Structure 1
Amino acid sequence: MIRSLALLLALLPAAALAHSGHDHAAAPMESALTQERLLLPDIPVTDTQGETAGFVTRYGDAGPVLISFIYTECKDNCTMVKAVMKLVDADLQAPGAPPLRLIALSVDPWRDTPGTLATAAAEIEASGNWDWLVASRADTPVLLSAFGLKPGPVEAHEAVYLLGDLRSGTFWRISGVPDPAQLIEQARGIAP
């Protein structure tokens, strides 16, 4: 089922849209897809419940994962990223959906705490299948670098998604605004 970006934005709560900094409807964009292998370090990450575990330890046996990169004070592309992830999250509730785990990883450990991430997850009505995580200030640059993200100010981070599984280390890097239905179909090819 194909949905326009305007529909994506309509599904977000008004509070999330207020942070977008834009008052016009966005037009659908194309996304770029490349496959790569990632060797990820087992850096500790903390979830919205305050539980800390190594990233690889936590998700090594999870099967397919879809990782996005956000921060709670974002006023630009995070609104779009959250909208895409929200639609994927909703589609995963349907019978026959692949076993895909969603992960929102903060790029701003200076302001994002487990509590602020929990509030952001609640505002968007994220399901229990969608983890919101933050690493320490020292570990965040190392973890983001392992994901192939360029260092720099949090405001300059790109809209990037990684779809794959940690066991094989094979991931699809998706830049831009992907169609949530295509992400689900891509995940079907990864699922065991």
Structure 2
Amino acid sequence: MRRGAPLLAAALALALPTASPAGEPAPPRTGAQVSGPPADADAAAAYFTDTELIDQDGRPRRFYTDLLRGRKVLIHFVFTSCKGACPTMTANLARVQALLGKRAGKEIAILTITVDPVNDTPKVLKQFAAKFNAGDGWRFLTGTPQNVEKVLGRLGGLTKKPEEHTSTLLIGDTKTGMWLKTTATERPETIVHLVDHINDAP
């Protein structure tokens, strides 16, 4: 049976995490499955939308078509002036990127989305990315406050104050519609394992 956009939207609205302060209890360390069976591509596009974001190189990116479609993705939320968890999470994902090797940027994308789009311009994000040796396929994303808010709302990353952003790491396979959530400070080896086994039967 073909799954439509309303069904996918309802499933993800229930499944993806709501924003919570970084100090709250972390999700299960082994990763928690948060979506159902594979979803229709049109439904996924309708849910995630092609809202325009801007990457660290100043290039516009359509959220679903350019960043999600047809690949596995890791998504987390930061703001560059953060003095707490953000540098730790991003450094940890740099180690994940190294473990993924040449797969990063091809079949697997890493997306870092700011929760402070007013201050985190592409130039600021580019400098932030350089601190962590972000390679090909790792996009640091900003945009208009309205567009960023829309995307964060779809992903459960929306927050009233940047410092209250969630430390969740979302791992998804947009070919199958399977999603997991863990923390962005999970062991890099565990994160790579989750990426590789996201579609395994529970």
Q: Which residue of 1 aligns with 2:33?
A: 35
Q: Which residue of 1 aligns with 2:3?
A: none
**Which residue, 53, 60, 81 being the options, matches 2:61?**
53
Distance 1:30 1:166 in 2: 22
Q: Which deviations, in whole Å up to 9, do the C-alpha atoms of 1:56-112 show, x marking residues without a partner?
A: 0112334111111111111111022112101101112279xx932111111110100
Over the matched positions of the two proteins, sequence identity in percent amounts to 25
Query: Quick check: 1:73 aligned with 2:81?
Result: yes
More helix by share: 2
**Which residue, 107, 113, 131 being the options, matches 1:123?**
131
Unaligned runs of 5+ in 1: 1-28
Instruction: Report the secondary structure of 2:183's partner residue.
Output: strand
Q: Which residue of 2 aligns with 1:5?
A: none
TM-superposed CA distance for 1:30, in Å, is 7.0
CA contact (8 A) 1:45 1:53 kept: yes
TM-superposed CA distance for 1:36, in Å, is 1.9
Distance 1:66 1:115 in 2: 22
Instruction: Report the secondary structure of 1:111's partner residue.
Output: coil
The structure 1 segments of at least 4 consecutive aligned residues displaced by more than 6 Å after TM superposition are: none
Distance 1:115 1:155 in 2: 21
Equivalent AA in structure 2 for residue 119 of structure 1: Q
Unaligned runs of 5+ in 2: 1-26, 36-43
Q: Which residue of 1 aligns with 2:113?
A: 105
Equivalent AA in structure 2 for residue 87 of structure 1: R
* Residues 109 and 85 of structure 1, relative CA distance in 2, 3 Å threshold: same
Distance 1:62 1:68 in 2: 19
Q: How does 1:1-192 map to 2 (within 5 A)?
A: 31=29, 33-37=31-35, 39-93=47-101, 99-175=107-183, 177-190=185-198
Equivalent AA in structure 2 for residue 42 of structure 1: D
Equivalent AA in structure 1 for residue 148 of structure 2: T
TM-score (normalizing by structure 2): 0.71
In the alignment of these two chains, the number of paired residues is 161
Q: Which deviations, in whole Å up to 9, do the C-alpha atoms of 1:118-173 show, x marking residues without a partner?
A: 01111111111211111311122221111012421001112111001234432111
Q: CA RMSD in A?
A: 2.4
TM-score (normalizing by structure 1): 0.75
* Residues 114 and 85 of structure 1, relative CA distance in 2, 3 Å threshold: same
TM-superposed CA distance for 1:181, in Å, is 0.7
Equivalent AA in structure 2 for residue 151 of structure 1: T
Distance 2:185 2:28 in 1: 6
* Residues 62 and 116 of structure 1, relative CA distance in 2, 3 Å threshold: farther
